[in-house]
Amino acid sequence: EAQVTQNPRYLITVTGKKLTVTCSQNMNHEYMSWYRQDPGLGLRQIYYSMNVEVTDKGDVPEGYKVSRKEKRNFPLILESPSPNQTSLYFCASSPVEYQPQHFGDGTRLSIL
Amino acid sequence: QKEVEQNSGPLSVPEGAIASLNCTYSDRVSQSFFWYRQYSGKSPELIMSIYSNGDKEDGRFTAQLNKASQYVSLLIRDSQPSDSATYLCAVNSGGYQKVTFGTGTKLQVIP
């Protein structure tokens, strides 16, 4: 089954404790992306990747890091999480950047 | 100025009616346009994609694109209660690498 898998689905943590949200897709897609979704602000792109070792900033990259060492994986790293990063996060992938994206089920992060 | 704008709603329509959802965008070089549906607490799922001016129909859904006026719309015919969701407009912009979403329109179909 074609899918984008995110882990964990839910996480409650504390300020400053480094965390990683993993994202993996099994569709051999080149384009992968991370979004955060906040009430009233919609989905905002954090980082995207055009292919292995090619990443770039989206609209809200501050406080986040990403890497793309393998085509299927695109982890999101919060080196020093802060409460304003409490949000619902989605990973998505598409064959190329101008085609529709397939979304993971989301990760709800709460940073206290 | 928001790059992709949608009326947040809620848009309420009776069952069986046509629901009309609108989206405007600011980047004139945008080339790819998408409508996603998102149920509460779930991930977005693709409804329609459209790349050229005009209408594109898929079942009860019709997407309309007007690049000169920089708007894209979604019509849902014979609306059903199961269509009640938030509809997100998304646009490829910034050299076609970035994807920008509108804040979504909440649709309520009243039985």
* Residue in chain A lying closest to B92 (CA): A98
Digit-coded pLDDT (tens) for A60-100: 999 999 999 999 999 999 999 999 999 999 999 999 888 89
Digit-coded pLDDT (tens) for B8-45: 889 999 999 999 999 999 988 888 999 999 999 899 99
With a cut of 70, say whether residue A45 has pLDDT above it: yes
Interchain pair A97, B92: CB under 8 A: yes
Quick one: pLDDT at residue A2?
86
Of B92, B95, B72, the C-alpha closest to B22 is B72
Two tokens, residue B34: 């998408």
Digit-coded pLDDT (tens) for B62-110: 999 999 999 999 999 999 999 999 999 999 875 667 889 999 999 999 9
Quick one: pLDDT at residue B97?
76
Mean pLDDT of chain A, nearest integer: 95
How many beta-carbon pairs under 8 angstroms link A with B?
54
Interchain pair A48, B46: CB under 8 A: no
| Range A39-63 average pLDDT | 93
Give B42-87 as a DSSP string. S--EEEEEE-SSEEEEETTEEEEEETTTTEEEEEESS--GGG-EEE
Quick one: pLDDT at residue B52?
92
Q: Which residues contact A84 (CB under 8 A, 6 or more apart)?
A: none
Interchain pair B44, A90: CB under 8 A: yes
Pick the residue of A90, A98, A102, A107 with the most B CBs within 10 A to test the interface with B by mutation. A98
